[in-house]
Amino acid sequence: MLRSTLLIALAALSYTSNAQVILFMNWDSNPVSTSSIGPNPISISGSATSSANGTGGTNGLNPGSPKADINMVFTGSPTFDVNGMDIQIDFQRDESVGDFVSRTGFNWGMNGGNLSVSFRVDNGAGGYTNVNSGNVYSIPNDNVFRTYRFFYLPDLGTAELQVNGATVWSYAGTADRNMYWSGGNLTIGNAMDGSGSNQTVMDNLVIANVTASPLPVELLSFDATTRDTKVILNWATASETNNNYFTIERSSDGIVFDEKIALIQGAGNSSNTIEYSCTDYNPLRGIAYYRLSQTDFDGVMEQFEPIMVSFEKTDDLIEHITGTRRLTILSDNVEKVRVYDLSGKEIQTTHLGNTIQLNTNQSGMFIVHIETLSGNSVSKKIQI
């Protein structure tokens, strides 16, 4: 089975006409100072580490041991000098005070175990207006990861705080007013040490530059599985906003996507996890690329990063003359060959060699199951 999985937390690898991801960190491995998208931090606590039990069973960011604040610091200018922001993070609480993201004039995180945000907006006269949500949501201390989100849209002058897609606070200011920055570095995990619990507290941080609308679809995953003569494509969303439909396209080179495989109706608006699937019944032989895109009701489209699939048909791998006890494997990409009778009993397993002598004196129908180095899994019936 080929499972080429691309975990794209919260649309981190998507783009729209008015949104651009400037930082994405999933902390799936060490060093945790390596970003998937955007700059790497200039400093971080020596205790911080990647550890298990993050979102969906992946690794995440652990303040580590000995007890120390995460304090992951990034150079603030010019990367984060944006007019509007969409910030999302998966978090489970082990303490009462700490910032998810902070910078001069900007603080988003916990105050006494409560979710809050404060930020500055240009007042149109060379100064700024302070906006403070106050304590708007009591963050549960139950070892459960939730998705926390803040966005400010400068074209509209509006802001929201969300928890798992549900709005817990909103702000309606003056349109065409940008966020107000006065320099300073940006910090993730200021005053956040997990109370020394030495367990994962953060996962999947996304910071995007936005203007008129937040990222419309929060994509959790997009993957492909080959099965016999077809490729099955699966994806899941954490939330959808104004989503009309999805499109699956195919390419032989990963550059020109000129084959449309399917069009799947979206959910419109949703704050729940939704799983989708479609099948390519006539896949390309060898390497192919699949791209997922999403189209709003107003026609605005976003495209997600393509995934690669290696597909080999059974008949391309096995050569067998009916009645004989010898198989020829026509590929150097084979890792293992198993032979079963029709009852499911395994007759033999072979790991090496392109010519296989069957270890049975029986005659009849058998099933040859091949596992390739690329993860593909195919089967074929033969008569001996």
Distance CA 35, CA 83 (A): 22
DSSP string, 222-271: EEEEEETTEEEEEEEEEEEEEEEEEEEEEESSSS---EEEEEEEEEEEES
Question: Is there a contact between 236 and 220 (Cβ–Cβ < 8 Å)?
Answer: yes
Please report, rounded to a whole number, the percentage of residues in the chain having pLDDT higher than 70.
Answer: 88
- Determine the Cα–Cα distance for residues 293 and 281; give it in Å rounded to an integer: 20
CA–CA separation, 33 vs 49, rounded Å? 9
The Cβ-side half-sphere exposure at 214, using a 13 Å CA radius, reads: 25
pLDDT at residue 4 greater than cutoff 60? no
**Confidence check: pLDDT of 353 > 80:** no
Q: Residue 6: is its pLDDT beyond 90?
A: no
Residue type, 347: I
Domains of the chain: 17-210 (2.60.120.200), 217-311 (2.60.40.10), 314-383 (2.60.40.3080)
Using alpha carbons only, what angle is made at residue 206 by residues 102 and 187, rounded to the nearest 5 degrees?
Answer: 20
Q: Is a pLDDT exceeding 60 seen at residue 8? A: no
Q: Give the residue, 11 or 87, on which the prediction is more confident.
A: 87
Span between the terminal Cα atoms of the chain, in Å: 26
User: What count of residues does the chain have?
Assistant: 384
- 343: pLDDT strictly greater than 60: yes
Strands of 334-341's sheet in order across: 346-350, 334-341, 365-372, 377-383
**What is each CA distance from 215 to 8, 133, 328, 342, in whole angstroms?**
13, 22, 52, 51
Tokens of 332: 């150097």
Q: If you average pLDDT over residues 97-116, what whole number do you get?
A: 96
Q: 202-221 burial, b for 16+ CB within 10 Å, e for fewer?
A: bbbbbbbbbbebbbbbbbbb
Q: Tens digit of pLDDT for each residue in 356-380? A: 778 777 888 888 887 776 566 677 7
Q: What is the mean pLDDT of residues 189-200?
A: 95
Burial 94-103 (b: 16+ CB within 10 A, else e): bbeebbbbbb
